[in-house]
């Protein structure tokens, strides 16, 4: 076991990636064949036909493998943490990518040889207002319903009636699972970055919001929950100076978002350190406006699986993080 540190020079920098299915990754790579290379939306087409993201191919036309960035992905599976990836960052034919590829290469260029760990701990179909609700979140009433606070169950009930019996899930269960799984990796960091014995949590990267769209109360309270999430992650991992970067949902243009989408969009923009309304986030929180980066589709349809969307958003998230993390 290795204990993490927050102020050291010769350590691996850890960036914890969290969210739901779009952070998990639904961008189609495609196979190494002429058909997929010509199929718009695949990474094969983007790289081999359009000439985008040239750093993804080596001199032999094969996918590059980073020498400094590790790609680690864990998830709760049958009540235990399961390791799905533990390798130096690369792309594989016929698989799917999330924003981690763009994030990793942006950080690799910016961090100039530093050891980097992308630690993705998330699962799809999870809301911030329920599954990922951070500790300290109180219950509240909204339009005749009482909504659960952290570790309460069920998710909501009639405000004028007694609280029902708990169900098999509770508010914040996914937050607890995802953070615990990430900490399991950190306790044994040398198993995930050979030769590394110490780490520094440099930042958190968050891409989420879709499931909250379907519950008005969750959308209305997204800002309060997001602020608490930023604060609580830093507290739980013991790194108050860790940076935080998030991306908006790609389907929403600044002037077009409405209804629940607008509540979430406005909340995500509100926490930006430069243009938002929280002075404490200046210089340490950044929101990436992803609509111009999306190639179409919406968050609930995984942007039609278009790999360019995941690459574009990933590059932007990584660049935003690099601008916050000091050299």
Same domain, 183 and 156: no
Q: Residue 145 sits in which domain range?
A: 138-170
Same domain, 248 and 144: no
Same domain, 129 and 186: yes
Within 8 A by CB and 6+ apart from 48, the residues are 37, 57
Same domain, 262 and 279: yes
In a domain, 36, yes or no: yes
Query: What are the pLDDT digits (tens) for 224-282?
Result: 999 999 999 999 999 999 999 999 999 989 899 999 999 999 999 999 999 999 999 99
In a domain, 6, yes or no: no
Same domain, 210 and 165: no
In a domain, 157, yes or no: yes
In a domain, 7, yes or no: no
Same domain, 125 and 164: no
Same domain, 159 and 203: no
Domains held by the chain: number: 2
Q: Is the pTM of this model over 0.75?
A: yes
In angstroms, the CA 196 to CA 48 distance is 35
Concatenated DSSP letters for 95-107?
A: -EE-THHHHHHHH
Same domain, 82 and 215: yes
Query: What are the pLDDT digits (tens) for 182-192?
Result: 999 999 999 99
């Amino acid at each position: 076991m290795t204990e993490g540190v927050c102020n050291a020079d010769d350590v691996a920098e850890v960036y914890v990636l969290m969210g739901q299915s779009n952070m998990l990754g639904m961008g189609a790579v495609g196979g190494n064949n002429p058909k997929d290379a010509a199929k718009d939306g695949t990474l094969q087409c983007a790289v081999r036909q359009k000439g985008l993201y040239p750093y993804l191919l080596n001199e032999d036309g094969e996918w590059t493998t980073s020498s400094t960035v590790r790609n680690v992905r864990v998830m709760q599976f049958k009540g235990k943490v399961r390791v799905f990836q533990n390798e130096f960052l690369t792309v594989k034919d016929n698989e799917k990518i999330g924003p981690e590829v763009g994030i990793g290469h942006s950080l690799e260029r910016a961090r100039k040889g530093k050891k980097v760990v992308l630690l993705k701990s998330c699962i799809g179909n999870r809301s911030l207002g329920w599954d990922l609700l951070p500790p300290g979140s109180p219950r509240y009433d909204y339009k005749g319903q009482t909504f659960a606070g952290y570790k309460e169950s069920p998710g909501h009930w009639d405000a004028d009636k007694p609280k029902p019996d708990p169900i098999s899930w509770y508010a914040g269960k996914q937050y607890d699972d995802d953070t615990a799984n990430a900490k399991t990796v950190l306790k044994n960091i040398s198993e995930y970055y050979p030769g590394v014995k110490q780490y520094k949590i440099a930042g958190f990267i968050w891409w989420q919001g879709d499931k909250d769209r379907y519950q008005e109360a969750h959308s209305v309270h997204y800002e309060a929950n997001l602020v608490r999430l930023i604060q609580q992650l830093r507290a739980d991992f013991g790194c108050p100076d860790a940076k935080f970067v998030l991306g908006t949902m790609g389907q929403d243009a600044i002037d077009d978002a409405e209804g629940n989408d607008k509540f979430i969009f406005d909340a995500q923009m509100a926490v930006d350190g430069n243009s938002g309304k929280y002075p404490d986030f200046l210089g340490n929180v950044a929101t990436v406006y992803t609509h111009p980066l999306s190639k179409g589709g919406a968050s609930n349809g995984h942007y039609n699986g278009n790999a360019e969307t995941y690459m574009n958003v990933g590059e932007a998230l990584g660049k935003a993080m690099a601008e916050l993390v000091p050299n």
